[in-house]
Amino acid sequence: MNLVLVESPAKAKTIEKYLGKEYKVFATLGHVIDLPKNKLAVDVDNGYKPDFVTIKGKGTLLTKLRKEVPKDGSVYLAMDPDREGEAIAYHAAQALKLKDPKRITFNEITKDAVLKSINSPRVVDMDLVTAQFARRVLDRLVGYKVSGLLWKKIRYGLSAGRVQSVALRLIAERESEITSFIPQEYWEVYVDLITQNGDVVRFKLVKVNGKTFKANNSAQIEEILQDINSPKYSIEAVKKGKRVASAPPPFTTSTLQQAGNNHLGYSAKKTMALAQGLYQKGHITYMRTDSVNLSKDAIDAFRGYISKSFGDSYVPATPNYFKKSSKLAQEAHEAIRPTDISKSSAALGDAEAQEKKLYDLIRNRALASQMSPALYDTYNIDASPEGMKEKYTFNVKAQNCTFEGFKKLWNVKYGKEDEDVQEISKIEQGDLLDKKEVTPLQKFTEPKSRYTEATLVKQLELLGVGRPSTYATTISTIMDRGYVVKIEKKLAPTDIGMIVNGFLVSHFTRMVDYKYTAKVEDGLDGIALGKVKYEPFIDQEYKPLMADIERIDKEVKKEDIVVLEKSDEKCPECGSDMVVKLGRFGKFLSCSNFPECKGMKNLESDDFVLDENKYVKEDKCATCGKDMIIKNGKFGRYWACIDYPKCKTALPLRLLEKCPECGSNLVERKGRWGKTFTGCSAYPKCKYIKKAKKES
């Protein structure tokens, strides 16, 4: 009897179908050993040795797996074909004390691939394992040390990471560009002309008196409109050409995440989870890959399917091959594709609805990558109002598709050539066309838009920051930390996100530098190839980091970091200017002379109005007699003395409704698990809780 170990039950279930009775397949449920969460767990004085421990809850699983280890048979470690999978395999072997484990990998979970790997096992690649350890240790050192400084200088509970901090920087800098952008007015003039066939083609004014047309006010436009009132326009020049639009490459991890977001609206995290499910069920190849290559067998199968389904004209004379534009290149050797191209999503009986949508995307893109190019006749056409050739030139760039090629399956805009290009019927030089309408458009320059998940992933890959397989986790982390939120599907930094980014960019320039972060990835690649040593690599990253932390700890004051912006308000204590700061519970006004002057003012960020038909209005502070104001804290709104922090009087928002047991006012509270309930304000003396009405 032989034992095969994989990461997930779904993968185990699929592999079991292909192996005979002499094999048992069990899942480790991911990592079994990792760094503990509650301490640094890296011995910085002893070669940066990681202190790995058994993950909580995995002890029982390991005991069970030890009983399954055969006395006479072999143990196969069939974890994923990347560094992460190699590390899981190594730790599983160590935890189970396996004497001679056999490492097997496959890029797709098909019968042929699994059986082939069983027949050609290898040993665990310790260079790949060490590279994964280096990433884990470096991320722990950076995260642990820098996060501790954030707690001290800004507030408790914040975190920083090697890749997440760069992602946050991109989002925050884009927001700053948008905020500081000053729109500039400009005008465009269009004329719609009716062709001989009755089609309407829109031309744009590009030249006036032989010079490029520019207008920034309506007066200029009024003068032009009065001048171009001719009912006829003559076609002055027609430049004809040909355009070939080549097929796109099959998906990599990064481009799949971008397409999942752009076409299906899925987050990077969701796209990867769905792809993981498809892979484990044997429907697609491994989904963590930087390669755009396809195997010869896959290409042959694709070309045969295309010929049969669409005709020989859709099959190029020679297969399409692609070069990876990104410098990222990791372990997996093939792009993401279906394992059986003949299967449509309808044939995937074990796939969920969203998995099927993603499968269709993967399948169509993979097939399109091996289809003939799309062919176009192109036109660059100049027109002028009749008799005004020398004064006004209108232009349109247009095209006719003569052969759709790969766009039969992947008919999306792919490249700048397809943007806003009109399809037209025949137009010849010398034609005299009827004017339908002249349209002046007032416009304003716009800043770059906020990043979507797709555009952020694209930019991270372009910069060489991190690995595409980590982007989903990176984006979800900065959102979970409260640094970034989604507004209309776009990523925007929060106030605390801007504060943290400002702190990191000002004081940790090396850590958040794009080129430096990409260089770290090169070092990790070097370890994986056996060309870079672990300890010197970590050493050259860790020691400069600690030097920065020691310097910043001495030089930087907390009160200088949390300032968001200046204010027109004056301090009620000393009359100095006030600044907007970010505290634990939101924005507030603070004296610019803090800590010498501790003058403060409340600054509500919303339009909350007290419902006096529901709540008691607290007028004066019972301690000092000054006004009471409503503040917004960690547990919701509450009344506080306006003279805080000198006077620390605070009260909950009391309901007008009285407690039936003691006569005190009732209040709304949040329980341990976040559920709201109504109880007595005299708690703990009175423990009355109002019963919630049952939903009908």
Q: How does the average pLDDT of the chain come out, rounded?
A: 90
| Residue 366 to residue 358: CA distance in whole angstroms | 12
| Residue ending a domain, choose from 515, 532, 558 | 558
Which of 11, 44, 244 has its CA nearest to residue 140? 44
At residue 331, the pLDDT reads 44
| Residue 285 to residue 291: CA distance in whole angstroms | 12
User: Residue 55: inside a domain, yes or no?
Assistant: yes
What residue type is assigned to position 166 of the chain? V
User: Would you tell me how many other CB atoms lie within 10 Å of the CB of residue 117?
Assistant: 19
Could you read off the pLDDT of 163-196 as tens digits, one per residue? 999 999 999 999 999 999 999 999 999 999 998 8
Tokens of 516: 């430096």
Q: Indicate if 434 and 548 belong to the same structural domain.
A: no
Q: Which CATH number belongs to the domain containing residue 361 in this structure?
A: 1.10.290.10
Check pLDDT > 70 for residue 607.
no
Q: Indicate if 651 and 662 belong to the same structural domain.
A: no
Confidence label for 329 from pLDDT (cuts 50, 70 and 90): very low
| Residue 645 to residue 626: CA distance in whole angstroms | 13
At residue 602, the pLDDT reads 72
At residue 414, the pLDDT reads 42
What residue type is assigned to position 567 of the chain? S
Confidence label for 128 from pLDDT (cuts 50, 70 and 90): very high
Q: Indicate if 261 and 346 belong to the same structural domain.
A: yes
By CB atoms closer than 10 A (0-12, 13-18, 19+), residue 123 is exposed
Residue 229 exposure: Cα atoms within 13 Å on the Cβ side? 5
- Answer whether 221's CB lies under 8 Å from 436's CB: no
What average pLDDT score do residues 357-379 get?
96
Q: Indicate if 150 and 72 belong to the same structural domain.
A: no
- Three-state SS across 592-646? CCCCCCCCEEECCCCCCCCCCCCECCCCECCCCCCEEEEEEECCEEEEEECCCCC
User: Would you tell me how many other CB atoms lie within 10 Å of the CB of residue 384?
Assistant: 21
β-pairing, 200-208 with 185-194? antiparallel
* Residue 109 C-alpha from the chain's centroid: 28
| Residue ending a domain, choose from 322, 344, 368 | 368
Q: Indicate if 403 and 548 belong to the same structural domain.
A: no
User: Residue 175: inside a domain, yes or no?
Assistant: yes
- Answer whether 507's CB lies under 8 Å from 556's CB: yes
| Residue 143 to residue 37: CA distance in whole angstroms | 12
Q: Indicate if 583 and 649 belong to the same structural domain.
A: yes
At residue 690, the pLDDT reads 87
At residue 696, the pLDDT reads 36
- Three-state SS across 505-567? HHHCCCCCCHHHHHHHHHHHHHHHCCCCCHHHHHHHHHHHHHHHHHHHHHHCCHHHHCEEEEE
| Residue 93 to residue 100: CA distance in whole angstroms | 9
At residue 694, the pLDDT reads 52
Give the list of residues 6+ apart from residue 662 with CB closer than 8 angstroms, or none.
Answer: 680, 682, 685, 686, 688
Query: In percent, how much of the chain has pLDDT > 70?
Result: 94
Q: Indicate if 273 and 384 belong to the same structural domain.
A: no
Tokens of 546: 């600690």
Per DSSP, what are the bridge partners of residue 192?
202, 437
Tokens of 265: 């609206």
Check pLDDT > 70 for residue 328.
no
User: Residue 132: inside a domain, yes or no?
Assistant: no
Domain containing 224: what range?
Answer: 185-246+374-444
Q: What are phi and psi of 442, to 5 degrees?
A: -85, 130
| Residue 50 to residue 627: CA distance in whole angstroms | 56
At residue 469, the pLDDT reads 86
Most distant pair of Cα atoms in the chain: their distance: 96
Helices (H), 99-125: 111-118
From the candidates 286, 379, 392, 644, which is the catalytic residue? Answer: 286
Which of 286, 278, 277 has its CA nearest to residue 85? 286
| Residue 342 DSSP one-character state | T
| Residue 391 to residue 380: CA distance in whole angstroms | 19
At residue 325, the pLDDT reads 53
User: Would you tell me how many other CB atoms lie within 10 Å of the CB of residue 389?
Assistant: 14
| Polymer length of the chain | 696
First vs last Cα of the chain: how many Å apart?
Answer: 58
At residue 693, the pLDDT reads 63
At residue 683, the pLDDT reads 86
Please indicate whether residue 376 is annotated as part of the active site: no
Query: In percent, how much of the chain has pLDDT > 90?
Result: 70
Q: Indicate if 384 and 468 belong to the same structural domain.
A: no
Check pLDDT > 70 for residue 633.
no
What average pLDDT score do residues 280-307 get?
94
What average pLDDT score do residues 498-508 get?
93
Check pLDDT > 70 for residue 542.
yes
- Answer whether 269's CB lies under 8 Å from 1's CB: no
By CB atoms closer than 10 A (0-12, 13-18, 19+), residue 452 is middle
| Residue ending a domain, choose from 558, 576, 592 | 558
| Residue 655 to residue 615: CA distance in whole angstroms | 4
Q: Indicate if 652 and 664 belong to the same structural domain.
A: no
| Residue 302 to residue 441: CA distance in whole angstroms | 48
User: Residue 293: inside a domain, yes or no?
Assistant: yes
Confidence label for 631 from pLDDT (cuts 50, 70 and 90): confident
What average pLDDT score do residues 411-427 get?
63
Q: Indicate if 165 and 267 belong to the same structural domain.
A: no
Give the list of residues 6+ apart from residue 395 with CB closer than 8 angstroms, or none.
Answer: 203, 204, 206, 380, 381, 382, 383
Check pLDDT > 60 for residue 19.
yes
Tokens of 364: 């169509």
Higher pLDDT among residues 404 and 330, named by residue: 404
Is 4 strand, coil or helix? strand
Strands of 665-670's sheet, edge to edge?
Answer: 654-658, 665-670, 676-680
Which of 651, 648, 653 has its CA nearest to residue 676? 653
Long-range own/partner contacts, residues 90-94 (CB < 8 A, 24 or more apart): 90/124, 90/126, 90/129, 91/31, 91/32, 91/33, 91/52, 92/5, 92/28, 92/32, 92/65, 93/124, 94/33
| Residue 637 to residue 649: CA distance in whole angstroms | 14
At residue 604, the pLDDT reads 54
User: Residue 69: inside a domain, yes or no?
Assistant: yes
Confidence label for 63 from pLDDT (cuts 50, 70 and 90): very high
User: Residue 137: inside a domain, yes or no?
Assistant: no
Check pLDDT > 70 for residue 634.
no
What average pLDDT score do residues 107-121 get?
94
- Answer whether 525's CB lies under 8 Å from 172's CB: no
At residue 584, the pLDDT reads 66
Q: Which CATH number belongs to the domain containing residue 487 in this structure?
A: 1.10.460.10
At residue 646, the pLDDT reads 79
Confidence label for 424 from pLDDT (cuts 50, 70 and 90): confident
Strands of 23-27's sheet, edge to edge?
Answer: 23-27, 2-6, 75-77, 102-103
What average pLDDT score do residues 504-518 get?
91
Q: Indicate if 410 and 423 belong to the same structural domain.
A: yes
Stretch (H or E) spanning 9: helix 9-16
| Residue 114 to residue 125: CA distance in whole angstroms | 19
| Residue 198 DSSP one-character state | S
User: Residue 78: inside a domain, yes or no?
Assistant: yes
User: Residue 129: inside a domain, yes or no?
Assistant: no
Split into its structural domains, the chain has a count of 6
| Residue 283 to residue 363: CA distance in whole angstroms | 10
Is 437 strand, coil or helix? strand
**Is the bond preceding 684 in cis, omega lying within 30 degrees of 0?**
yes
At residue 330, the pLDDT reads 47
Q: Indicate if 238 and 379 belong to the same structural domain.
A: yes
Higher pLDDT among residues 215 and 580, named by residue: 215
What average pLDDT score do residues 320-325 get?
81
Confidence label for 33 from pLDDT (cuts 50, 70 and 90): very high
Helices (H) and strands (E) in the chain, counts: 17, 28
Confidence label for 687 from pLDDT (cuts 50, 70 and 90): confident
**Cα dihedral 205, 209, 214, 217 sign:** negative
